[in-house]
């Protein structure tokens, strides 16, 4: 999954965000709409800064993007200690997002699978994720629910996947 050998399908390919710096602007715009409370004008964080931080090739945080005909249409990242109440569940998958017009075509699942492959390349055995909104999506992709937690009033399902299962 390194830059000369991206995972491809008929209609999209997945590669390292670091290889496509021009994608940061488009993905950041998508994040700002999707997670307005966090990345929007009243939010506390900068999507652009987070994505630039994830533009690395061989260490965490590490971002991946999906592209269709050179257009960035999705993203995900692996990060250390990202589940605030359970920092030991690391690395954690964050920022999983597919542009609304491209959903339900398998791109999110492909991003998950590629993140697991990348985690294995970085010598991790297990990847974690916490979600408020998409438990069914993780279950269908073969992830195991290992915990639930309440953080700042929101209920999260905590999921894990073994790196060998991708
Ligand atoms: C969650 C998200 C990343 C999923 O991306 P996606 O590209 O739509 O994911 P997939 O297409 O792989 O799978 C989504 C569903 O479509 C179904 N699907 C996949 N390919 C399909 C196809 N060709 N036709 C119809 N349905 C299809 C999958 O079975 C899956 O069903 P499920 O909802 O019952 O699990 C996307 O909806 C998103 O960006 N949501 C907003 C941000 C978010 O919630 N991120 C997750 C935070 S943890």
Q: Does the pLDDT value for residue 164 go beyond 90? A: no
Task: Kindly report the average pLDDT of the chain as a whole number.
Answer: 93
> How confident is the model over 89-119, as pLDDT tens digits?
999 999 999 999 999 999 999 999 999 999 9
Kindly report the pTM of this predicted structure: 0.92
Q: Does the pLDDT value for residue 165 go beyond 70? A: no
pLDDT at 26: 98
Kindly report the protein residue whose alpha carbon is nearest to atom 25 of ligand 1: 104
CB 100 within 8 A of CB 111: no
Which residue among 99, 109, 160 is best mutated to probe the pocket of ligand 1, counting the most ligand atoms within 8 A of its Cβ? 109
Angle of CA points 96, 14, 164, to nearest 5°: 75
CB of 131 shorter than 6 A to ligand 1: yes
SS (H, E, C) the chain: CCCCCCEECCCCEEEEHHHCCCHHHHHHHHHHHHCHHHHCCCCCCCHHHHHHHCCCCCCCCEEEEEEECCEEEEEEEEECCCCCCCCCCCCEEEEEEECHHHCCCCHHHHHHHHHHHHHHHCCCCEEEEEECCCHHHHHHCCCEEEEEEEECCEEEEEEEEEHHHC
What phi and psi values does residue 163 have, to the nearest 5 degrees? -65, -25
Q: Nearest CA to 110 among 137, 91, 90?
A: 137
Q: Does the pLDDT value for residue 4 go beyond 60? A: no
All domains of the chain in start order, with CATH:
7-162 (3.40.630.30)
> How confident is the model over 74-94, as pLDDT tens digits?
999 999 999 989 999 999 999
CB of 34 shorter than 6 A to ligand 1: yes
CB of 105 shorter than 6 A to ligand 1: yes
């Amino acid at each position: 999954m390194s830059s000369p050998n991206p995972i491809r399908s008929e209609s999209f390919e997945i590669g390292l965000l670091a290889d496509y710096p021009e994608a940061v602007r488009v993905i950041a715009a998508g994040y700002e709409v999707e997670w307005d409370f966090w990345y929007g004008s009243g939010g506390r964080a900068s999507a652009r800064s987070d994505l630039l931080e994830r533009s690395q090739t061989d260490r965490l945080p590490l971002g991946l993007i999906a592209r269709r005909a050179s257009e960035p249409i999705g993203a995900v990242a692996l990060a250390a200690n990202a589940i605030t109440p359970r920092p030991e569940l690391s690395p954690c998958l964050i920022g999983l997002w597919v542009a609304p017009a491209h959903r339900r075509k398998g791109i999110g699942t492909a991003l998950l699978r590629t993140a697991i492959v990348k985690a294995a390349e970085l010598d991790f055995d297990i990847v974690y994720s916490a979600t408020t909104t998409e438990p069914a999506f993780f279950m269908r992709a073969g992830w195991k629910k290992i915990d639930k937690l309440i953080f700042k009033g929101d209920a999260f399902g905590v999921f894990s996947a073994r790196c060998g299962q991708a």
